[in-house]
Structure 1
Amino acid sequence: MSGPSSPNSQPIERKAQLIEHLALGCKPKDAWRIGTEHEKIAFATADNLPLPYDGPTSIRALLEGLQRFDWEPVEEKGHLIALKRDGASVSLEPGGQFELSGAPLEHVHQTCAEVTRHLREVRDVADEMGAGFLSLGFRPDTRLEDVPIMPKGRYKIMRDYMQKVGTLGREMMFRTCTVQTNLDFSSEADMVRKFRVSLALQPIATALFANSPFTDGKLNGYKSYRSAVWLDTDNDRAGMLPFVFETGFGFEQYVDYALDVPMYFVHRDGTYLDASGKSFRDFMTGNLDILPGEIPTMSDFEDHLSTIFPEVRLKQFLEMRGADTGPWDELCALPAYWVGLLYDDAALDACLELVKDWTAADRQKLREDVPAQGFDAIIHGRSVREIAADTLSISRKTLNARGYMNGHGENETVFLQALDAMVRAGRSNADVLIAAYNGEWGGDISRCYTECIY
């Protein structure tokens, strides 16, 4: 989840401004970049308990310790809640999940170097205080009521509202962890093609990166319980967005969708005002009851966009949101996978051919089946495992053609190797963990804290 947007005081007086705002994301191909975000679960190594916000072994202490690496602090009402450095940030999710939001970078080798540097820095600080980080998509044994709550104003509003719109919203807030990548487009037409491909194939990514088979200390029956949680979090602002595939879809249609998503809050003078369930359309006409007569600024719209959570989200770039957090190599694999599918016209054509016969009902059923079935889910007579193999082949061609090399003479396809191995074996991380839990672990969930640690 994002923090407050950078200040943009331009008043919104007509819908066309919102459409123009999204269109400003269009960039020439040589300016396309890769942004990678990942969350991880912090815990105390002495007892495997989640870190509180305050104390000698705590989230705040982690943030303070990281400042030795030239991170600049960000505070909210006296609470240290984030850090910023060179276009990247470290921030907190509602239950203390620690998130790196990376800088926009040119190629995946740079992304992986950024991830590696970040993990080295947080390990240096965490080791000193007796803390560690789990590479799982869901807290394996901490009960919801035992997860500490971070002191961020927007999260209190969201926490209260979640109870009204679904059964699993608080699970999403406090116990899930994701990795996502943010990618660019050159035009409205390019955005539409990329949106359709990435939305249709998002369940394939969910299966490839499935890594959350445990809840409350035992198996939960899913490969990606994190993904299952999103099926009943808040369907007004999540899901597969069938309208993206309709004729005429573009920036305006996404703006219309966003305006119909109920609000969470308005950020004023460092305070989050509770606007949960209210209408941004009313806000635009000066009829928001908590700010009578006031119309929104573009910062307000940017904040509102950040509270919409479909499987793929449009801002001034596209966010891939379907994957569980995983080990180091998969934090690099996710951007490589999607760059290979979306940053080449021939790859986009091949992907569109792959999904052209899928209906809205087909896509929705696949979205619902994959969290439990993973690679075994079926669409149009083909398994997700087969389709994943096809997409990896497409992605590899793009990455080979891009030709970005690391110091060992390897191109970006090196980051697909872990995914290739999974597909060959028909076993995701979740499948491996399930087998270990039922086998060598002997049902001992505490093994997660030694086997699934960064």
Structure 2
Amino acid sequence: MARDTTDQTPISSKQELTDYLAGGNKPVEKFRIGTEHEKFVFFRDTHKPVPYFGDASISALLKGMESRLRWEPIMDGENIIGLAEPTGMGAISIEPGGQFELSGAPLENIHETCKESNQHLAVLRDIAEPLGIRFLGMGGTPSWSFADTPRMPKSRYAIMTDYMPKVGSKGLDMMYRTCTIQVNLDFSSEADMRRKMRVSMKLQSLATALFASSPFTEGKPNGQLSWRGDIWRDTDNNRSGILPFSLKEDFGFHHYVEWALDVPMYFVVRDGKYHNCTHITFRQFMNGALKGEIADWQPTLGDWTNHLSTLFPDVRLKRFLEMRGADGGPWRRICALPAFWVGLLYDDEALSAADELTKDWSFEQVNQLRDDVPTKALKAEITGHSLLDIGREVLKISHLGLKNRNRLNADGQDETVFLSTLDEVIAKKTTLAEDMLSAYNGRWNQSVDPAYEEYQY
């Protein structure tokens, strides 16, 4: 997230929190696609991570992008920590370990998404090249230790870094050593949100398998195909994972609100200062828990939206739905991830087919699949079927949805062209992570260094 909000609108009831989420309802013709992708930043000559400070640094990249794009700098104290497009059409941010993220503009089709990613990477490479900096598209750092990884001077990350070891064993790895590709998608009503949440929550592990690209840790195979997926199994289970109530037939905005109210907070922002609030839940905050601790102790809408941004279920509900299951990866996958989900969720025929395919999957089965996928990927099973077979069927549905949308580029191609990299995974029956492991045990001569060359942007 590029910028924490400071909306001072006071909150006086739970209904206002529910109404805020329901405010995301919009007509189908106004549905948009917001794609986010992260990449690791490394020095070309040494493959070492790039620090925040210095002539060749994360801050230098941000300042270079500011000068080139004329976007507004986002500051944390005296440090630039991101950029915002002045009209709200996109942002650039940094993750805790220096991962560089583009939060894309809300666009109408995947052709525009790919164009946006191309333009972003082209500008970024121009700025990075004289500094000897390159970018890596993988789900986890293949060689850097936690000690090797730099720390970004961002106040919310300092609070999270202190808190994570108290609630899970892998939260710091999540923060500092993983990357993802995500897509944000709209809904038209509570019923539409419910169905999209149910389908995407059940199929999120398939996305983890299809996009698995994190088989190495500190220079060696880690026993996983999606190390990132395994990390999320023990990051902070109070705020992450599959939400059982989201699979129920009566799931609504108020159920998500009730859950979010009882998740511990990270912070509130007052006059630009971050106050650590990990000792209270949002419900306690609304009941006056900060009275006497800070001057402006009453909760605001900005506090609520910031709190929503610190919740990490596999599908996150804001005024849109965030698909959070995929590892980061090479350029083609930046386009494939939104294509996969748009095909499934933005066409009624496809959405109904996906809902029907997964209708008998119980929470327990879906949760077990989530546990199995980091190691087994497409070999994991649910209801007696492998994810390879399920993936084949789901990709057919996604193709159907994109064909039905019929959004064409200048050459007359529809959006199904962006599924080709996933079609290839299914046809080969191997994930990118397995391809990497095969190279590691073959032509890479049991070194991960070639990954920096083969999977760089």
Same fold by TM-score greater than 0.5: yes
C-alpha displacement of 1:250: 0.2
Partner of 1:11: 10
CA distance in 2, matches of 1:70, 1:109: 24
Question: What's the RMSD between the two structures over aligned residues?
Answer: 1.1
Deviation per CA, 1:264-290, whole angstroms, max 9, x where unpaired? Answer: 111111111000131211211222253
Partner of 1:341: 344
Are the counterparts in 1 of residues 33 and 108 from structure 2 also a CA contact under 8 Å?
yes
- The counterpart of 2:103, out of the listed 81, 101, 104, is 101
- The counterpart of 1:394, out of the listed 390, 397, 406, is 397
Are the counterparts in 2 of residues 19 and 252 from structure 1 also a CA contact under 8 Å?
yes
Are the counterparts in 2 of residues 422 and 428 from structure 1 also a CA contact under 8 Å?
yes
Partner of 2:72: 72
CA distance in 2, matches of 1:80, 1:3: 11
Q: Secondary structure at the match of 1:212?
A: coil
Are the counterparts in 1 of residues 372 and 380 from structure 2 also a CA contact under 8 Å?
yes
The aligned amino acid for 1:28 is P
The aligned amino acid for 1:69 is L
Deviation per CA, 1:150-192, whole angstroms, max 9, x where unpaired? Answer: 0000000000000100000000000000000000000000000
Unaligned runs of 5+ in 2: none
The aligned amino acid for 2:24 is G
- The counterpart of 1:288, out of the listed 287, 290, 296, is 290
The aligned amino acid for 1:191 is M
The aligned amino acid for 1:312 is V
Q: Secondary structure at the match of 1:322?
A: coil
C-alpha displacement of 1:2: 5.0
Alignment of 1:174 onto 2:176: yes
CA distance in 1, matches of 2:128, 2:430: 31
CA distance in 2, matches of 1:121, 1:429: 27
Q: Secondary structure at the match of 2:147?
A: helix
CA distance in 2, matches of 1:366, 1:390: 17
CA distance in 2, matches of 1:400, 1:10: 43
CA distance in 1, matches of 2:347, 2:408: 18
Q: Secondary structure at the match of 1:75?
A: strand
Are the counterparts in 2 of residues 312 and 321 from structure 1 also a CA contact under 8 Å?
yes
CA distance in 2, matches of 1:110, 1:70: 21
- Alignment CA distance shift 1:292-1:82 (3 Å): closer
The aligned amino acid for 2:246 is V
Deviation per CA, 1:388-418, whole angstroms, max 9, x where unpaired? Answer: 1111101111111111111222110000011
The aligned amino acid for 1:189 is A
CA distance in 2, matches of 1:214, 1:96: 19
The aligned amino acid for 2:356 is E
CA distance in 2, matches of 1:372, 1:359: 21
Q: Secondary structure at the match of 1:186?
A: coil
Alignment of 1:197 onto 2:199: yes
C-alpha displacement of 1:321: 0.1
Alignment of 1:54 onto 2:53: yes
CA distance in 1, matches of 2:2, 2:320: 14
Alignment of 1:276 onto 2:278: yes
Partner of 2:312: 309
Alignment of 1:318 onto 2:321: yes
CA distance in 1, matches of 2:45, 2:94: 22
Partner of 2:81: 81
Partner of 1:114: 116
CA distance in 2, matches of 1:380, 1:279: 37
Q: Larger deviation: 274-283 or 30-39?
A: 274-283
Q: How many residues align?
A: 453
The aligned amino acid for 2:47 is N
CA distance in 2, matches of 1:280, 1:105: 33
CA distance in 2, matches of 1:287, 1:370: 40
CA distance in 1, matches of 2:410, 2:249: 46
Are the counterparts in 1 of residues 47 and 452 from structure 2 also a CA contact under 8 Å?
yes
CA distance in 2, matches of 1:24, 1:343: 19
CA distance in 2, matches of 1:80, 1:262: 28
Are the counterparts in 2 of residues 36 and 181 from structure 1 also a CA contact under 8 Å?
yes
Q: Secondary structure at the match of 1:288?
A: coil
The aligned amino acid for 1:151 is P
Partner of 1:148: 150
Deviation per CA, 1:113-134, whole angstroms, max 9, x where unpaired? Answer: 0011011111111111100000
Q: Secondary structure at the match of 2:326?
A: strand
C-alpha displacement of 1:293: 7.4
Partner of 1:137: 139
Are the counterparts in 1 of residues 3 and 74 from structure 2 also a CA contact under 8 Å?
no
Q: Secondary structure at the match of 1:181?
A: strand
CA distance in 2, matches of 1:249, 1:444: 48
Unaligned runs of 5+ in 1: none
Are the counterparts in 2 of residues 161 and 276 from structure 1 also a CA contact under 8 Å?
yes
C-alpha displacement of 1:431: 1.1
The aligned amino acid for 1:13 is S
Partner of 2:44: 45
The aligned amino acid for 2:274 is Y
CA distance in 2, matches of 1:31, 1:62: 34
CA distance in 1, matches of 2:353, 2:408: 25
Are the counterparts in 1 of residues 403 and 416 from structure 2 also a CA contact under 8 Å?
yes
CA distance in 2, matches of 1:287, 1:64: 40
User: Alignment identity in percent?
Assistant: 51
Are the counterparts in 2 of residues 287 and 293 from structure 1 also a CA contact under 8 Å?
no
Partner of 2:377: 374
Partner of 2:429: 426
Are the counterparts in 2 of residues 36 and 102 from structure 1 also a CA contact under 8 Å?
yes
The aligned amino acid for 1:286 is G
Are the counterparts in 2 of residues 263 and 278 from structure 1 also a CA contact under 8 Å?
yes
